[in-house]
Amino acid sequence: MKKLFKKVYSFLNLYKLQEPENFDQWKQALTIMFRALGITQFITDPSIGDTLSDADQAILLILLKDSCSSSPQAALAWQTAPATAYKLLVQ
């Protein structure tokens, strides 16, 4: 996953989660990125993030934080588990 992480681009501002109106666009972009990393199932079952190594969980958390504008990012500031962070964003 680390090698793929280096190849995957950062989220363009256009696709970052900014408000409820662009939620579907954000989720589609996130799904594509996770597919490239081989963790598409995370979208439907975030608990699989708990089975990843600590390094892969950190990468996943960074990707989630990078996929948001500053306002939603604030909600993730103290989150350390990718599953919890994702659940906060989709609720």
Task: Tell whether 2 is covered by a domain.
Answer: no
pLDDT at 8: 54
Task: Tell whether 3 is covered by a domain.
Answer: no
Total structural domains in the chain? 1
- Mean pLDDT rounded to a whole number for the chain: 85
Task: Tell whether 34 is covered by a domain.
Answer: yes
Task: Tell whether 12 is covered by a domain.
Answer: no
Q: Give me the domain span that covers residue 26.
A: 21-90
CA pair distance 80, 8, nearest whole angstrom:
22
Task: Tell whether 15 is covered by a domain.
Answer: no
Contact 36, 4 (CB under 8 A): yes
Task: Tell whether 48 is covered by a domain.
Answer: yes
Task: Tell whether 80 is covered by a domain.
Answer: yes
Alpha helix segments (H runs only) across 1-49: 2-7, 23-37
pLDDT for residue 42 is more than 60: yes
Task: Tell whether 59 is covered by a domain.
Answer: yes
